[in-house]
Amino acid sequence: MTSGTDRRPRSVLELTVMKAEGRRIVMLTCYDALFARLLDGPDVDVLLVGDSVNQVLAGHPSTLNATLDQMIYHAASVRRGTQALLFVDLPFLTYQVSVEEAIRNAGRVMQETGAHGVKLEGGAAMGATVAALVERGIPVIGHLGLTPQSVNTLGGYRVQGRDVSGAARLEEDALVLEQAGACALVLELVPTALAQRVSAALRIPTIGIGAGPGCDGQVLVLHDMLGLNEAFSPRFLKRYAELGGMVRAAAHAFASDVRDGRYPDAAHSFD
């Protein structure tokens, strides 16, 4: 339920207004209706159904074999639990092959999930694709820096833009994506000073993950932020809860009660 003090953006256009007013954008990933309902309120501005679901929930080592049907299933689930702005990752090879295929696949996402837009990875090479999607009424968030779908060509999950040429290329990519019509940019694993320069140069907001405090907003994977993904502990991650330990303790207590005959008791049984 939303409250009378709910100041979440009601349209994609409001993201630029939030940047102009100096209001930081709060984004979290989400993969299902249950968590979407818990997050549906004034605190979270945007929910992202990330292709990270392929790692976090499906247990794969990367995002590369995430499918469009998989993303649509999870995005439709999230949509049923929230009124927040909702964006969905386009998975690997659903938008890189051709502009026409990108339009078709992004259109499916919009039609079948009720999302407000899509997110895709890549810089200047994606400019024409972003422009084509926006021209057809599909809002796009870009993604620069560490782009997980390109992890094999980037040599692993590492900070991007540390050298002069890499920083210049990222700044140029950001400008191209803004000119193509992107409504926001995710900057992942980018040095703080570079992310701050890019943020200052753009009219559209930047949303950082491992990109320092100079971005216009921040995003984390919900399960990482809650401490459910215990094996994942990069430097940029701040855990706001330790639910992994709580889940394990609850399972242990349940097992003990069952084995010792304490559950179910009369209060949890029917006459």
pLDDT above 70 (res 10): yes
Give the contacts of 236 (CB within 8 A, at least 6 positions apart). Answer: 189, 209, 210
Report, in angstroms and rounded to the nearest whole number, the Rg of the chain calculated over CA atoms.
Answer: 20
The per-residue pLDDT for range 228-239, each reduced to its tens digit, is 999 899 999 999
State whether residue 163 is helix, strand or coil. Answer: coil
pTM of the predicted protein model: 0.95
DSSP 92-159: TTSSSS-HHHHHHHHHHHHHHH--SEEE---SGGGHHHHHHHHHTT--EEEEEES-GGGHHHHTSS--
Nearest Cα to 18, choosing from 55, 52, 57, 45? 45
Q: How much is the mean pLDDT over the chain?
A: 96
Indicate the Cα dihedral angle 131, 136, 138, 140, nearest 10°.
Answer: 0
Residues involved in catalysis = 188
Main-chain dihedrals φ then ψ at residue 220, nearest 5 degrees: -135, 155
Inter-CA distances, 97 with 155, 191, 237, Å: 22, 30, 33
Query: How high is the pLDDT of residue 1?
Result: 42
Query: How high is the pLDDT of residue 144?
Result: 98
Q: Is 241 exposed, middle or buried (0-12, 13-18, 19+ CB in 10 A)?
A: exposed
Peptide bond into 264 cis (omega under 30): yes
Q: What angle do CA 190, 30, 65 make, to 5 degrees?
A: 70
Query: How high is the pLDDT of residue 5?
Result: 66
Torsion region of 136: left, alpha or beta (phi above 0 gives left; psi -120 to 50 gives alpha): alpha
Pairing of strands 46-49, 25-29: parallel
The per-residue pLDDT for range 133-149, each reduced to its tens digit, is 999 999 999 999 999 99
pLDDT above 90 (res 6): no
Query: How high is the pLDDT of residue 2?
Result: 45
pLDDT above 90 (res 69): yes
Mean pLDDT over 59-83 rounds to 97
Asked if 221 and 52 count as a contact pair (C-beta separation under 8 A), the reply is: yes
The per-residue pLDDT for range 186-215, each reduced to its tens digit, is 999 999 999 999 999 999 999 999 999 999
Nearest Cα to 25, choosing from 222, 228, 209? 209
pLDDT above 80 (res 20): yes
Asked if 105 and 68 count as a contact pair (C-beta separation under 8 A), the reply is: yes
Q: What percent of the chain has pLDDT over 90?
A: 94
Q: What percent of the chain has pLDDT over 70?
A: 98
Give me the domains of the chain, ranges plus CATH numbers.
Answer: 13-240 (3.20.20.60), 243-271 (no CATH)
Pull the structure tokens for residue 42. Answer: 């004034």
- The residue with greater pLDDT, 156 or 128, is 128
